[in-house]
Chain A
Amino acid sequence: DAGITQSPRHKVTETGTPVTLRCHQTENHRYMYWYRQDPGHGLRLIHYSYGVKDTDKGEVSDGYSVSRSKTEDFLLTLESATSSQTSVYFCAISKQEGGNTEAFFGQGTRLTVV
C-alpha cells in the first residue's frame, strides 16, 4: 500500500459545511496528489503538491483547497461542501523524484454531501 493512509474512509456531511480529508504517508515521498473519482469521468486531479508548502491546482480545483505543512501529510479541504462534491476521493503519491513514474493510491474516502 506504499504507506498511504486516508482518513476518514467514509463521511456524510451537510451542504455548506467545511470538510477536511487527510492523506498520510510514511515513506517521505515528495509528490502527493488528490484525485476525485466519478462515474464516466475516470479520476480527475484536484490539487497536487511537490514539496512542503508547495502546492498547485489541478483540473477540478474549484471549491477545494489543500495544505502541506509536513512531508507526510496532505490535507484536502472543501470550504463549503456542495452536492456536486459527493464523490470518492483518492490520495496518491509518486515514488520517485521528478514524477513521471509509478503512482500509488490510498484506500479512498467516500464523501456524501446531503
Chain B
Amino acid sequence: GENVEQHPSTLSVQEGDSAVIKCTYSDSASNYFPWYKQELGKRPQLIIDIRSNVGEKKDQRIAVTLNKTAKHFSLHITETQPEDSAVYFCAATGGTSYGKLTFGQGTILTVHP
C-alpha cells in the first residue's frame, strides 16, 4: 500500500517569512495529492490539491509542487501570517483506491508575530 512521509514535524517561522513542507510517497499509481489545514480542535480542511498531470498549482499565498519522478510534493506558503499557524497534512491517493487517503504525519506550523 501507499506510504507517505512528511517533514518537518514542526516548523517555526517569523511573520512574513516563507514556509515549506515536504512529502514523499511510495505508490507510483497515486495521482491526487491534497493538503489539509487543521486548526486546534477543528476538522481538517482542504486548502489546495494537485493532480499528477500538473507540476505546480498556486492559490494566492499558497502553492504546491509535484515531482512525479522523485515521488515528492511540497507545500509552499509565502508571506506567512499568524493565522497560518495550524497543523498541515499532506495526503496521497489514486489508482483503484476508491479515494482512500494516506496521510503524512503532520507538520505543526507556528508563525510568530
Residues of A at the B interface (CB closer than 8 Å) are: 31, 33, 35, 40-45, 48, 50, 56, 58-59, 90, 92, 94, 98-108
A41: which B residues are within 8 A, CB to CB?
105
Do B106 and A102 touch across chains, with their CB atoms under 8 A apart?
Answer: no
- What's the Cα separation between A75 and B1 when bound, in Å? 25
Kindly state whether residue B44 has any CB partner on chain A within 8 Å: yes
A102: which B residues are within 8 A, CB to CB?
34, 46, 49
A42 CB, min distance to chain B CBs, angstroms: 4
User: Closest chain B residue to A49 by CB distance?
Assistant: B98
Kindly state whether residue B101 has any CB partner on chain A within 8 Å: yes
Do A99 and B89 touch across chains, with their CB atoms under 8 A apart?
Answer: no
Residues of B at the A interface (CB closer than 8 Å) are: 1, 4, 6, 9, 31-32, 34, 42-46, 49, 89, 93-94, 97-106
Do A101 and B43 touch across chains, with their CB atoms under 8 A apart?
Answer: no
Do A50 and B105 touch across chains, with their CB atoms under 8 A apart?
Answer: no
- A102-B49, A108-B43 known; A42 vs B98 contact (CB < 8 Å): no
A53 CB, min distance to chain B CBs, angstroms: 15
Query: Main SS of the interface on chain A?
Result: strand
- What's the Cα separation between A90 and B44 when bound, in Å? 9
Do B43 and A42 touch across chains, with their CB atoms under 8 A apart?
Answer: no
Do B100 and A101 touch across chains, with their CB atoms under 8 A apart?
Answer: no
B34: which A residues are within 8 A, CB to CB?
102-103
Do A90 and B105 touch across chains, with their CB atoms under 8 A apart?
Answer: no
User: Closest chain A residue to B4 by CB distance?
Assistant: A42
A92: which B residues are within 8 A, CB to CB?
101
Contact partner of A42 (CB less than 8 A), chosen from B46, B94, B100, B103, is B103
Contact partner of B99 (CB less than 8 A), chosen from A31, A40, A90, is A31
Do B49 and A43 touch across chains, with their CB atoms under 8 A apart?
Answer: no
- What's the Cα separation between A44 and B102 when bound, in Å? 7
Q: What are 9 residue pairs bridging A and B, where the CB atoms are less than 8 Å apart in the complex?
A: A33-B99, A33-B100, A42-B6, A42-B105, A43-B44, A45-B100, A90-B43, A92-B101, A100-B94
User: Closest chain B residue to A45 by CB distance?
Assistant: B100
Task: Kindly list the 9 A-B residue pairs having the minimum CB-CB distance in the complex, ordered from nearest.
Answer: A99-B99, A42-B103, A94-B99, A105-B43, A100-B32, A43-B103, A99-B98, A42-B105, A42-B106
